[in-house]
Amino acid sequence: KNQVEQSPQSLIILEGKNCTLQCNYTVSPFSNLRWYKQDTGRGPVSLTIMTFSENTKSNGRYTATLDADTKQSSLHITASQLSDSASYICVVSARNDYKLSFGAGTTVTVRA
Amino acid sequence: DTGVSQNPRHKITKRGQNVTFRCDPISEHNRLYWYRQTLGQGPEFLTYFQNEAQLEKSRLLSDRFSAERPKGSFSTLEIQRTEQGDSAMYLCASSSRLASTDTQYFGPGTRLTVL
């Protein structure tokens, strides 16, 4: 069973609207959680990284939250743009382990 | 561009042929990773190098797969006797152990199609 589960699998939103993506994980002991954006046919690009003590991290119109107690994270996209159309992958690191645990990603499609 | 680069970006080959991919990491990064990603899934770990030493290989990496990083800089991933199931995106990433969070920076990937 994957240690990182994301929902929804995909979503379609209208340009200018907001959306929230969810990530639940079981990775332990927890070190940090990253959200990556992956455009079609490209490699993933890091958006945010949060450690155990951080609850919120913003990067422009992207805001990530982390609840380390419930092992949940969310990524909120504000005022979506067409260029936000991509797959968003939740990635969790365990302490003292270089290997990353990847979610399957949420595919976001922004329509005009 | 000082990011991770991969070549070729796309490769189409016939079943049974050998293919080799190249990854050039960010120059000061001593850690290098190979991943495989299929459609609709997150990347799956294949192997990891610290400098020139290959420290771990996933069970996903069958005997037909071999990776090298001869001088601790660029790396190659070779697949021998390709099979249709090898069709995927092969991603390379690099990181620096000096960075506290050790963020992995990904290359654009090599898309392999085995006919």
Tell me the shortest Cα–Cα distance from B17 to chain A, in angstroms. Answer: 23
CB contacts of B91 in chain A (<8 Å) are 43-44
Q: How far apart are the first and last CA of chain A?
A: 37
Q: Using one digit for the tens of pLDDT, what is the confidence trace for B60-78?
A: 888 999 999 998 899 999 9
**Residue of chain B whose Cα is closest to the Cα of A34:** B103
Residues 67 to 96 of A: which have CB under 8 A from any B CB? 89, 91, 93
Contact B42 A104 (CB under 8 A): yes
d(CA B83, CA B60): 14
What pLDDT, on the 0 to 100 scale, is given for residue B98? 61
Tell me the shortest Cα–Cα distance from B15 to chain A, in angstroms. Answer: 23
What pLDDT, on the 0 to 100 scale, is given for residue A1? 63
Can you give the pLDDT of all 112 residues of chain A as single tens digits?
679 999 999 999 999 999 999 999 999 899 899 999 999 989 999 999 999 889 999 999 999 999 999 999 999 999 999 999 999 999 999 887 878 899 999 999 999 9
Contact B42 A51 (CB under 8 A): no
Strand A86-94 and strand A72-77: the pairing is: unpaired
What pLDDT, on the 0 to 100 scale, is given for residue B100? 54
Percent of chain B's residues with pLDDT above 90: 74
Over 80: is that where the pLDDT of B97 sits? Answer: no
Coil/strand/helix, residue B84: helix
Of B56, B102, B108, the CB nearest to A43: B108
Tell me the shortest Cα–Cα distance from A45 to chain B, in angstroms. Answer: 7
**B99 pLDDT band (50/70/90 cuts)?**
low
**B101 pLDDT band (50/70/90 cuts)?**
low
Interface with B, mutate which of A52, A98, A106 (most B CBs under 10 A): A98
Percent of chain B's residues with pLDDT above 70: 96
Q: Using one digit for the tens of pLDDT, what is the confidence trace for B38-56?
A: 988 999 999 999 999 999 8
**B96 pLDDT band (50/70/90 cuts)?**
confident
What pLDDT, on the 0 to 100 scale, is given for residue B1? 53
Other CB atoms within a 10 A radius of the CB of residue B28 amount to 9
Q: What is the 3-state secondary structure (H, E, C) of B26-53?
A: CCCCCEEEEEEECCCCCCEEEEEEECCE
Q: Which has the higher per-residue pLDDT, A13 or B96?
A: A13
Mean pLDDT (chain B, rounded)? 91
